[in-house]
């Protein structure tokens, strides 16, 4: 059996991602529950990389058996990632706007509290 | 203990006065966070005796609630009570909710609209059940009425609470905060009054789906 670069890199990336998630738990930025879900997800990625035959079960369900179909499905995956990234950016912008609105609202309260 | 009520309000001129007057006898200060209303909500709230904080732009109930909590901290609150401005919560339930926070047995008290025999439309029960399941999936903690705006935060929760979500999804984020900070939790059955006005003010199905997606996405990418 020949081992491809992907089969080495994907599990390594998974280990890094899992360690990062648990480091966030220790820094109180992620809950144990969230880190567990994250761990399951990355373990799945690593398992598929190490043993691609696992995907045979997926082909039975999805019907993706040809290479052309694989390209098609991968394209959807990439588009999904782009949408995911855009949603994250939008969330950041929304939060930034909320912080500005809140600062303006609280300025008056702080001034009144200082006077008292 | 200094108790402050936080009422986020957006275009609630029909109900805000009676809500403020109803809450006043149980707290030291009533704070109404006007979330960019285009009607007379801030004027009427002020006339009823509330302190009003204004958002220049509509930012969502989560954003308004967090603004209220921050203002309450500035004003020296030990306990914060949050409730909706649409008259669905009965202010007479406030002492019941305050008790666990005052005697130190809970850091956060959730009202439970389903713990009593309340007349709740089926569609509301269904949406709330879905909300509870999504909240449990995202946080790992089961709360019987996770989407209710009627809550009490004890001194520790007032200090530590940090809501980042702006919309209705903040209810789930509060449950997440309770897990994150290991707050002790209490759940108290309360009365709920659903009127045509209250029902019209609730989230639409599309809004609920959007909220659910945001919660799941957030809990994953955080």
Reported as a single tens digit per residue, the pLDDT across A45-93 is 888 888 887 777 777 776 766 766 767 777 787 888 788 778 878 888 9
Ranges of chain B whose pLDDT falls below 70: 202-206, 219-222
Residues 43-102 of A with CB under 8 A from B: 84, 87-88, 91, 94-95, 97-98, 101-102
One domain for residues A99 and A115: yes
Chain A residues within 8 A of B50 when measuring between CB atoms: none
The pLDDT assigned to B196 comes to 74
Q: How many domains is chain A partitioned into structurally?
A: 2
- The superfamily CATH assigns to domain B3-221 is Spore Coat Polysaccharide Biosynthesis Protein SpsA; Chain A (3.90.550.10)
Q: Return contacts of A108-111, CB within 8 angstroms, 24+ apart.
A: A108/B53, A109/B51, A109/B53, A109/B71, A109/B74, A109/B75, A110/B74
One domain for residues A71 and A59: no
Residues facing B96 on adjacent strands: none
A110 to chain B: closest CA residue = B74
Residue ranges of chain B whose CB lies within 8 Å of a chain A CB: 33, 51, 53-57, 59-60, 63, 66-67, 70-71, 74-75, 138-140, 164, 166, 176, 179-180, 214, 217-222
A94 to chain B: closest CA residue = B166
One domain for residues A13 and A49: yes
Contact B26, B79 (CB under 8 A): no
Determine contact: A19 vs chain B, CB below 8 A: no
Q: Tell me the shortest Cα–Cα distance from A15 to chain B, in angstroms.
A: 17
Tell if the pTM clears 0.80, that is, is over it: no
Determine contact: A37 vs chain B, CB below 8 A: yes
Contact B67, B33 (CB under 8 A): yes
One domain for residues A49 and A35: yes
One domain for residues A61 and A105: no
**Three-class DSSP category at A1:** coil
Domain spans of chain B, in order of start: 3-221
> Among partner residues B55, B66, B180, which is closest to A31 by beta-carbon distance?
B180
One domain for residues A54 and A5: yes
Q: Which residues of A63-101 are buried (b: 16+ CB within 10 A; e: fewer)?
A: ebeeeeeeeeeeeeeeeeeeeeeeeeeebeebeeebeeb
Contact B107, B183 (CB under 8 A): yes
Contact B32, B71 (CB under 8 A): no
Contact B52, B30 (CB under 8 A): no
One domain for residues A1 and A46: yes
Query: What are the structure tokens assigned to B10, written together?
Result: 């957006």
One domain for residues A54 and A92: no
In three state form, how does the secondary structure of chain B look?
Answer: CCEEEEEEECCCCCCHHHHHHHHHCCCCEEEEEECCCCCCHHHHHHHCCCEEEECCCCCCHHHHHHHHHHHHHHCCCCEEEECCCCCCECHHHHHHHHHHHHCCCCCEEEEECCCCCCCCCHHHHHHHHHHHHHHHHHHCCCCCCCCCCCEEECHHHHHHCCCCCCCCCHHHHHHHHHHHCCCCEEEEECCECCCHHHHHHCCCHHHHHHHHHHHHHHHHHC
One domain for residues A3 and A49: yes
Q: Examine the pLDDT at A19 and tell me if it is beyond 80.
A: yes
Q: Do B219 and A91 touch (CB under 8 A)?
A: no
Reported as a single tens digit per residue, the pLDDT across A95-111 is 899 999 999 999 888 88
**Residue A99 belongs to domain spanning:** 66-116
The pLDDT assigned to B131 comes to 87
B139 to chain A: closest CA residue = A33
One domain for residues A50 and A87: no
Complex-level ipTM = 0.79
Query: What are the structure tokens assigned to A103, written together?
Result: 């600062």
Cα separation, A57 vs A54, in Å, equals: 6
Q: Where are the alpha helices (DSSP H) in chain A?
A: 5-26, 32-50, 55-62, 67-115
The pLDDT assigned to A3 comes to 79
Q: Tell me the shortest Cα–Cα distance from A74 to chain B, in angstroms.
A: 21
Reported as a single tens digit per residue, the pLDDT across B79-126 is 999 999 998 899 999 999 999 999 999 999 999 988 777 778 888 888
One domain for residues A8 and A58: yes
One domain for residues A50 and A71: no
Contact B168, B205 (CB under 8 A): no
């Amino acid at each position: 059996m020949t081992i491809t670069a992907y089969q080495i890199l994907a599990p390594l990336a998974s280990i890094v991602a899992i360690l990062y998630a648990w480091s966030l738990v220790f820094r109180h930025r992620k809950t144990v529950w969230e880190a567990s879900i994250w761990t399951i997800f990355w373990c799945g990625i690593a398992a598929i990389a190490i043993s691609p035959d696992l995907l045979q079960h997926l082909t039975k369900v999805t019907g993706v058996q040809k290479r052309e179909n694989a390209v098609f499905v991968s394209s959807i995956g990439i588009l999904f990632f782009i949408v995911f990234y855009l949603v994250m950016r939008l969330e950041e912008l929304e939060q930034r706007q909320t912080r500005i609105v809140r600062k303006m609202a609280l300025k008056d309260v702080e001034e009144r509290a200082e006077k008292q | 203990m200094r108790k402050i009520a936080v009422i986020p309000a957006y275009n609630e001129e029909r109900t805000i006065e009676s809500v403020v007057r109803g809450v006043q006898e149980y707290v030291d200060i009533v704070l109404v966070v006007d979330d960019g209303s285009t009607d007379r909500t801030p004027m009427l709230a002020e006339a009823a005796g509330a302190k009003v904080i204004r958002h220049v732009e509509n930012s969502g109930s989560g954003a308004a609630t967090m603004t209220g909590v921050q203002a309450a901290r500035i004003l020296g609150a030990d306990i914060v009570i949050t409730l909706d401005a649409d008259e669905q919560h009965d202010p007479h339930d406030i002492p019941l909710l305050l008790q666990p926070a005052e005697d130190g047995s809970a850091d956060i008290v959730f009202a439970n609209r389903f713990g009593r025999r309340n007349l709740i439309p089926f569609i509301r029960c269904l949406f709330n059940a879905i909300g509870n399941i999504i909240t449990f999936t995202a946080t790992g903690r089961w709360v019987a009425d996770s989407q209710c705006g009627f809550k009490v935060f004890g001194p520790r929760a007032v200090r530590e609470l940090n809501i980042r979500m702006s919309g209705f999804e903040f209810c789930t984020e509060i449950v997440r905060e309770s897990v994150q900070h290991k707050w002790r939790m209490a759940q108290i059955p309360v009365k709920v009054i659903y009127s045509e006005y209250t029902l019209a003010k609730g989230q639409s199905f599309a809004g609920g789906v959007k909220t659910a997606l945001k919660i799941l996405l957030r809990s994953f990418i955080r």
